[in-house]
Chain A
Amino acid sequence: MARRVPTSRKWLVTIAAWAIGFLIFFPILWTILTSFKTEAEAIASPPSFLFFDWTLDSYREVQSRSNYFLHFYNSVIISLGSTLLGLVIAIPAAWSMAFVPAKRTKDVLMWMLSTKMLPPVGVLIPIYLLFRDFGLLDSRFGLVIVLTLINLPIIVWMLFTYFREIPGEILEAARMDGATLWAEIVHVLTPMAVPGIASTLLLNVILAWNEAFWTLNLTAAKAAPLTAFIASYSSPEGLFYAKLSAASTMAIAPILILGWFSQKQLVRGLTFGAVK
């Protein structure tokens, strides 16, 4: 039962929490605000907080100078592509482990997880050289493959935890009803697991969107997603705060929105079910 809390205390907590929340969020807020300033206002001292001439110039310029939308498109293709490909491979695998567990299922799961713990620098050179030799450097296709592989363990694992909550009897009922394996997965399992599959998709799109090791090392220009594109602002263009902010805002906005929808799944997905 909820207990009555003294209102004064509730207000105190509210003020403290909002203050801290605001502080943590401030860098993002500041970036968004700066993106609507002119370059001069962006470095003005004292900085103006809300009372400046709001303008979209920086956004226009970011696009006209560097074809921003190509990189945005690359990010979409790479994150969505790698996640969907991962789902296609992972759904059958998770089905097997959740509904036909064998003695070694646990070992397989743990092993899959362990591949996620392989530090990327451990395989950077061979992957780089292989990509070079196969002409995959700076290609969207190459990145989709790599991101699929590095996120596959998380996808399998998340789906597995969701599938496990579906009673096996329902799939057995489908089997009794004459469903083939294909029909069982397509008509019964997948529709029932839609919430879980959607969460998995969401979290992995976020992870792939923000992935900044392989995207930085394997792309240059043509296939560069936003992570790599923004990195090109490291010098000296980064000193143009308004443009940096405009580019940054556009890069993080879609994921901030998606991310807020996926708070719950985040915990489950990133702790591999160890914390619910």
Chain B
Amino acid sequence: MATAHSRTAARFMIAPAVLLLLAWMIIPLSMTLYFSTLRYNLLMPGMEDFIGFDNYSYFLTDPAFFAALTNTLLLVGGVLLITVIGGILLALLLDQPMFGQGIVRILVIAPFFVMPTVSALVWKNMFMNPVNGLFAFLTKAVGLQPFDFLSHAPLTSIIIMVAWQWLPFATLILLTAMQSLDSEQIEAAEMDGAGAFARFFHIVLPHLTRAITVVVLIQTIFLLSVFAEILVTTNGGPGTASTNITYLVYAQSLLQFDVGSGSAGGIVAVILANIVAIFLMRMIGKNLDI
């Protein structure tokens, strides 16, 4: 609480941020909504017609959409699975007393700071390339045929790249959460005769639930929008084998110049993201006491 004077001042101070974000949200979103009801191709300017929900039915019945939806879910699910389980295990390991903990931490976190285009290209060329890549060398060394990751398992390859980038994030947050666990609780459980596994499942894991939820929700928000990794490695292919919704919308609108159905796809993506966002916001909101 404060005086009327300071409340007025507060309103002025917050106004620019609010107005800018409001504009950022409303103007383009309503334009997308509007475009999604038009027949609108950038190659044929001046031919825009109102066609209602046709773009939506076109976009949603396109087999590419179904493929993209599946790929999106697989990508998000796969990366989450790897990063959360890997993150918990890594956090457990890093929480133990050891020599050079600080350095190990730095090594583990590093991938998060690598820009997506770099990580994608490095993985694609220097590791997964079937001729000169390091993996090809290793498979040949043990006498196997090199595997062409990006043509035969494009989505899995992308999942690996993205998981590598996000594993540090999950690890860091879970480790932070783990370190906030009161060591007396663990000691009390030990006194009560709980073994290592019992301690993990009855004390550590419940304590981590919150952090895990946060990791899952935040990563989901980012993973739904994976783009650069696909653009520089597979271009969504072969066929639509590694196209996710974000990439599909990009391809429709900026490669095929079909703004109308691209916009419909954009709105679909917004709706999907919102479903996740609602859960995330609840979670954060509950935690925020003003």
Report A-B touching, CB under 8 Å.
yes
* A interface residues (Cβ-Cβ under 8 A, vs B): 2, 5, 10-11, 13-14, 16-18, 20-22, 24-25, 27-28, 30-31, 34, 43, 45-47, 89-90, 92-93, 95-97, 99-102, 105-106, 108-110, 112-130, 149, 152-153, 156, 181, 206, 209-210, 212-213, 216-217, 226-228, 230-231, 233-234, 238-239, 241, 244-245, 248, 251-252, 255-256, 258-260, 263, 266-267, 270-276
Q: How far is the CB of A200 from chain B (nearest CB, A)?
A: 14
Q: Which of A153, A233, A255 contacts B115 (CB 8 A)?
A: A255
CB–CB A125/B262 < 8 A: yes
**Residues of the B chain whose Cβ atoms lie less than 8 Å from the Cβ of A20:** 90, 93, 108
Q: Mark B109-132, 1 if CB is under 8 A from A, else 0.
A: 111111111110111111101001
Q: Which of B137, B167, B270, B277 contacts A45 (CB 8 A)?
A: B137
Q: How far is the CB of A245 from chain B (nearest CB, A)?
A: 7
Interface presence of B267 (CB below 8 A): yes
Interface centre among A2, A100, A231, A275 (most CB of B within 10 A): A275
**Residues of the B chain whose Cβ atoms lie less than 8 Å from the Cβ of A230:** 115, 117-118, 121, 232
Interface presence of B193 (CB below 8 A): no
Q: Mark B236-277, 1 if CB is under 8 A from A, else 0.
A: 000000000110011001100001001101110110111011
* B interface residues (Cβ-Cβ under 8 A, vs A): 2, 6-7, 9-11, 13-14, 16-18, 20-21, 24-25, 27-29, 31-32, 35, 90, 93-94, 96-101, 103-119, 121-127, 129, 132, 134, 137, 140-141, 164, 167-169, 172-173, 176-177, 180, 210-211, 214, 218, 221, 224-225, 227-228, 231-233, 245-246, 249-250, 253-254, 259, 262-263, 265-267, 269-270, 272-274, 276-277, 280-281, 283-285, 287-288, 290
Q: How far is the CB of B23 from chain A (nearest CB, A)?
A: 9
CB–CB A181/B112 < 8 A: no
The secondary-structure label for the interface of chain B is helix
CB–CB A120/B122 < 8 A: no
CB–CB B116/A96 < 8 A: no
CB–CB B228/A244 < 8 A: no
CB–CB B285/A115 < 8 A: no
Q: How far is the CB of B65 from chain A (nearest CB, A)?
A: 13
CB–CB B97/A274 < 8 A: no
- The distance in angstroms between the C-alpha atoms of A108 and B63, with both chains bound, is 40
- The distance in angstroms between the C-alpha atoms of A270 and B233, with both chains bound, is 27
CB–CB A114/B246 < 8 A: no
**Residues of the B chain whose Cβ atoms lie less than 8 Å from the Cβ of A101:** 290
- Assess A27 versus B123: contact at CB under 8 Å? Given A10-B99, A251-B118: yes
Residue of A with least CB distance to B35: A125
Residue of B with least CB distance to A180: B9
**Residues of the B chain whose Cβ atoms lie less than 8 Å from the Cβ of A210:** 113-116
Q: A121-B266, A275-B210 are in contact. List 9 more A-B contacts (CB 8 A).
A: A27-B122, A28-B114, A97-B14, A100-B2, A101-B290, A119-B225, A149-B20, A212-B227, A275-B177
- Assess A123 versus B28: contact at CB under 8 Å? Given A216-B228, A267-B176: yes
- The distance in angstroms between the C-alpha atoms of A11 and B281, with both chains bound, is 43
A-B contact count (CB 8 A): 320
- The distance in angstroms between the C-alpha atoms of A20 and B53, with both chains bound, is 52
A–B Cβ pairs within 8 angstroms, 7 of them: A95-B10, A124-B253, A238-B124, A239-B132, A251-B118, A252-B115, A260-B109
CB–CB A34/B126 < 8 A: yes
CB–CB A274/B287 < 8 A: yes
- The distance in angstroms between the C-alpha atoms of A173 and B21, with both chains bound, is 33
- The distance in angstroms between the C-alpha atoms of A127 and B119, with both chains bound, is 27
CB–CB B110/A231 < 8 A: no
